[in-house]
Amino acid sequence: MVISDDLWVQAAAFVGAGFAVGFGAIGAALGEGYAAGRAGQAISHNPSLSDDIVKTMLIGQAVAESAGIFALVVAMLLVFKDVEGESLLSAFAYLGAGLSMGLAAIGSGVGSGMPAGAACEGVARQPAALSTIRTNMLVGSAVCQTPSVFGMVVAFMLLFIDWADRPFWPTWAALLGAGISTGFSAIGPGLGNGITANEATLGVARQPETSGTLTNTMLIGLTVAQSTVIYGFLVSLILLFIPKPESMAMVAWAAPLSAGICMGLGGIGPGIGEGITAAYAVRRVARDVEQNVLLTRVMLVGQAVSESTGIYSLIVSLLLIFVV
């Protein structure tokens, strides 16, 4: 039995859809479950505030679900994609799209659930600051979604750009590598941002009058922690838009695929590490707001050191793309 190219492309689109919505649902469900668990704890500490705590939980969960909805949209586009007459290269583009979106949604989904859980705990401790706590939670949760937006942008490029004019060898590896690079590298920053936003929300509950300073410090920490997903996105763009000459040599296809894997995996650790650094800084700012400038400076130095392995990954990826 001979399987046509159309059938392979259709199968790859279905597998890509499975990756997108499957990984996306893991992130959303874990984030929502985490928020619900901490809401339950908060209610057991202060049952009289159960109404406010449940409302806060639901608001946080609604935002945490956004990455899952991005993943669902990409999955549905893959399922209903008209593949008639498409080249075999599209199969790898669709697999890459599913991986990019699904993996990126894991970090953002789990990360967004963390400030939601912290807000529930904060409301139980400091009900008078309910509105301020919710505002900080929403800002933190919304920023946590940014890595999944990068994943979605790469998925859309893989889905909607026509790659038919490129040679099959080694472009298939570049398309798959592009999806892997942004997908994996978004996991770390999503989780790291969640860890920071969690501490900032607890800090606002502890000292509501410092909320302005805390939110600013949190935003600086979150922005720096997102650097590695930007590196992953950059590697994806290079892989997608700098065409390579046709070659079936093993090095020609292994290099772009390895570049994507290198940057993708290399972005996970620094993203989480930088988030932890920012979380400790934010926690101390909530206790001693006068030391904000010094703590922010130390946080930035710590984050820069933590990021160095992400930069090594970027350099090795660029070497694999341009030198090998």
Partner 1 sequence: MESVAKRALALTLAACLILAVMGRLAWAKGLALGGLVSVVNFALMAWLLPKAVGMSRRRSEGWAFGSLALRFSLMALALGLCLYKPQSLSVAACAAGLFVVQLTLLTDRFLPERWREATWGVNERWKT
Q: What residues line the site for partner 1 (CB under 8 A)? A: 21, 25, 28-29, 32-33, 36, 39-40, 43, 52, 54-55, 57-59, 61-63, 65-66, 68-69, 72-73, 75-77, 79-80, 126, 128-132, 134-135, 138-139, 142, 208-209
Helices (H), the chain: 5-45, 50-64, 66-79, 89-125, 130-144, 146-160, 168-206, 211-225, 227-241, 250-266, 268-287, 292-322
From 184, 176, 148, 224, select the one nearest 313 (Cα to Cα): 184
- Give the pair of three-digit tokens for residue 117: 């859980």
Q: Which amino acid is at 214?
A: L
Please, which residue, 63 or 279, has the CB nearer to partner 1? 63
Q: What is each CA distance from 289 to 77, 107, 144, 212, 213, in whole angstroms? A: 48, 30, 24, 11, 8
- Between CA 230 and CA 59 the distance in angstroms is 28
Please, which residue, 111 or 271, has the CB nearer to partner 1? 111
Give min distance, CB of 154 to partner 1, in A.
Answer: 17
- Give the pair of three-digit tokens for residue 126: 């400091």
DSSP string, 144-181: HTHHHHHHHHHHHHHHHS--TTS-HHHHHHHHHHHHHH
Please, which residue, 30 or 311, has the CB nearer to partner 1? 30
Please, which residue, 215 or 303, has the CB nearer to partner 1? 215
Question: 197 exposed, middle or buried (CB, 10 Å; 0-12, 13-18, 19+)?
Answer: buried
Give min distance, CB of 237 to partner 1, in A.
Answer: 23
Please, which residue, 159 or 230, has the CB nearer to partner 1? 159
Please, which residue, 17 or 255, has the CB nearer to partner 1? 17
- Between CA 103 and CA 234 the distance in angstroms is 17
Give min distance, CB of 277 to partner 1, in A.
Answer: 27
Give min distance, CB of 313 to partner 1, in A.
Answer: 32
Give min distance, CB of 58 to partner 1, in A.
Answer: 5
- Between CA 318 and CA 260 the distance in angstroms is 10
Please, which residue, 39 or 281, has the CB nearer to partner 1? 39
Give min distance, CB of 303 to partner 1, in A.
Answer: 26
Give min distance, CB of 167 to partner 1, in A.
Answer: 31
